[in-house]
Amino acid sequence: MHNIYEQFRQLIPAPPLQAGTVIDVGSGVVTVALPGGGRIKARGSAALGQKVFVRDDAIEGIAPSLTLEIIEI
């Protein structure tokens, strides 16, 4: 017998991993500017101007400071 709930969960895509720059720091919440111009609030702590990885509104780690190239498709 198959687990129907697990089959349903496989239909929903995982949240994407995004990288951005911290532009505002609060108590446990930071504002992250994304390369496309968007802004999101994420749980976690980081320094102002630091590049971070964000997934599902939570900071997952520090991102490397590399040059950014945006390619429109």
Run of H or E residues at 31:
strand 29-33
Domain 12-62 in this protein, CATH class: mainly beta
Give the model's pLDDT for residue 71. 83
Give the model's pLDDT for residue 61. 95
Give the model's pLDDT for residue 1. 60
Give which of 4, 41, 44 is closest to 23, Cα–Cα.
41
Read off the pTM.
0.76
The tens place of each residue's pLDDT in the chain, 73 residues long, gives 688 999 998 999 999 999 999 999 999 999 999 988 999 999 999 999 999 999 999 999 999 988 777 788 8
